Copies of this chain bind each other. A is one copy, B any other.
Amino acid sequence: MPELRYNILNDIWVIISKERAKRPHDYPLNWEDKKKTGKENCPFEPGKEYLTPQEVFAIRDPDTKPDEPGWRVRIIPNKFPALKPEEQFFRTSEAIHDKMGGYGFHEVIIDTPDHERHINNFSIDELVLMFTAYRERMKQLYEEKNIYYVQIFKNHGKEAGKSLYHSHSQLIALPRIPKRIGTQIKQCRSYHMEKERCLLCDEINFELREGIRVVHDNDHFIVYSPFASAFPFELRVVPKEHLDDFTMVTDNMIYYLSKAVQIAVKKLDKLLKNPPFNMMLHTSPPRRNLPYDPNYFYEIDKLFHWYIEIFPRMAIHAGFELGTEFFINPTPPEEAAKYLREIKINTE
C-alpha cells in the first residue's frame, strides 16, 4: 500500500512505494547496464497486449479492439505503480508526521508499436500521435475529483532512467500539486501581481528580441536555452500564444509543437550523439484545486503558461546539487544555443 509522506524539514512530499518495495538485494542498481529487451520478449509489442494490464486509452486503426493489435499509441497502467486508483484519498498524521493515502494513477504511454523507433528519430506523424494521446488522457484524468496534477514525462536513454527498451512515456496523476509546480505558480503569481503580465510571455518576447539563446522558432513555438539553465544544453519549447492549459491545445497547435520538438530533439541527438535526456510537460493544475490566495484575485489562465522542458543528462548531480538545490552548469546557454543553431539536421 503506497503512501505519501511529508518531509517537514525540506517541505517536500515523498511517495513511499511499498508496491515497488525493494529489499537490499533487489537493487540491481538502475545505473548498471540492463540487457536490451529483445522484440520477442517485449511486452509493448503489438500481439503481446496480454502481457500488460488492460489499456485505459489508445489511438487505434478503425475496427480494431482494445488490447488487440491495431493501435498507434497505447496507454496502460504501470505494472508496478507508485500510486494506485484503488487506494483511498485521505490526509492524516502519525504523531508529528503528516501523510496521505497513496491514491493516484501511474501509467505507461507506449508511443509507437515499432520496437526500433525512438523519439530522437520520430516523424512528425509519430510526434503528433504521441502529443495527442498526452492531451486526451490528461483531459480524462483531470476529470477525477482528487487529482491535483498530472505529470507527463519521457526518459530517453538508460542514464535518464529509462528501464525498458521499447519507446514509452509515463504519466503520474497526483493527489497534490508537486512542489516544483507550486513554486512556478507562485513565481508567475507574484510576477503577474506586480506587472499584470505573464512571466513566460515576457521571457520569450525578450529572448526573441535578444536572439542569443534561441535555437529555433516557428509561427507558434520558440525553442531556447533558458538564461539560468540548470542543465547543459537544457531547452524549453514554449508556445508563443499565451495558454495555461495543455488540455485545451488545438490539433493545429499540436502539429506545430511536433515540428518544434522534432527540431529540438534532432539537434540534440546530432550535436551530442544521442544523449540521454528527460522531457517533461508542464501545465496548469485543474483550476478547482489551486491553492487559495486571499491576496490574489486573478484566474490561473491569466498567469501560467504551459511548456515543455528537455534536460540532457550530461553530468551526474552530486552532493553539492542534492544538498543545496544549487546547480552548476558548465556550458553557458548562449554557447549551447549557438552550437544547436548551427548544427544542420534533416527534417521531413
Contacts and interface: CB of A to CB of B under 8 A. Distances in A.
Interface string A128-171: 00000000000000000000010101110001111000000010
Given A21-B331, A280-B323, A320-B172, A191 B160 contact: no
Interface string A179-221: 1110110111001000000011011001000100000000000
B7 A326 contact: no
Interface centre among A155, A202, A332 (most CB of B within 10 A): A332
A178 B329 contact: no
Interface stretch (A23-31, A251-259, A286-294): A23-31
A11 interface: yes
Interface stretch (A41-49, A69-77, A308-316): A308-316
A232 B20 CA distance: 12
Given A7-B228, A228-B97, A232-B22, A319 B153 contact: yes
A89 interface: no
B7 A170 contact: no
Interface in A306-348: 309, 311, 313-320, 322-333, 335, 339
A22 B331 contact: yes
A18 interface: yes
A329 B15 contact: yes
Contacts of A200: 9
Interface of A: 5-18, 20-24, 27, 29-31, 82, 94-97, 149, 151, 153-155, 159-162, 170, 172, 174, 178-181, 183-184, 186-188, 191, 199-200, 202-203, 206, 210, 226-230, 232-233, 271-272, 275, 278-280, 282, 309, 311, 313-320, 322-333, 335, 339
Given A11-B183, A27-B315, 15 more contacts: A5-B228, A8-B191, A9-B203, A10-B184, A12-B230, A14-B328, A17-B330, A18-B332, A20-B330, A21-B330, A29-B275, A29-B314, A97-B228, A160-B319, A181-B324
